[in-house]
């Protein structure tokens, strides 16, 4: 959570209970959280990406969708293909889920 708070300028003390409540809620059991560690730096968290349940309704039909949020790679680790590896991991593992599609809304930093 330190990484998220540093990147988005959140207060860690305030954000921690929100994060726990949101991702640990039964509704978000299908949420996917990808955490990237640097094993050579004592397992320092250097990247994070989450996809949470985001039902989408069109023409009275509800689709199972996941929305991507909190895509972060530490500045000093950027440019090394980490985010591409995260997306590849998601692509390889999303096939075994009940989701119809993924949604992402990029930030200006993207």
Q: Which pLDDT score is estimated for 110?
A: 58
Question: What does the pLDDT read at residue 82?
Answer: 95
Q: pLDDT value at position 108?
A: 65
- Each residue's pLDDT tens digit in the chain (110 positions)? 888 898 889 999 999 999 889 888 898 888 899 999 999 999 999 999 999 999 999 999 999 999 998 889 999 999 999 999 999 999 998 888 889 999 988 766 65
Which single residue is written with the structure tokens 């708070």? Answer: 5
Task: For residue 42, count CB atoms less than 10 angstroms from its CB and return exposed for 0-12, middle for 13-18, buried for 19 or more.
Answer: exposed
């Amino acid at each position: 959570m330190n990484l998220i708070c540093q990147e988005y300028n959140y207060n860690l003390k305030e954000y921690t209970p929100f994060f726990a409540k949101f991702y640990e809620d039964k509704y978000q059991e299908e949420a996917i959280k990808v955490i990237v560690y640097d094993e050579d730096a004592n397992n320092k968290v250097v990247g994070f990406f989450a996809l949470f349940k985001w039902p989408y309704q069109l023409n009275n039909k509800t689709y199972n969708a996941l929305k991507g949020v909190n895509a972060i790679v530490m500045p000093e680790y950027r440019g090394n293909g980490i985010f591409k590896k995260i997306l590849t991991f998601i692509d390889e593992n999303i096939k075994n889920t009940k989701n119809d599609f993924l949604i992402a809304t990029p930030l200006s930093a993207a």
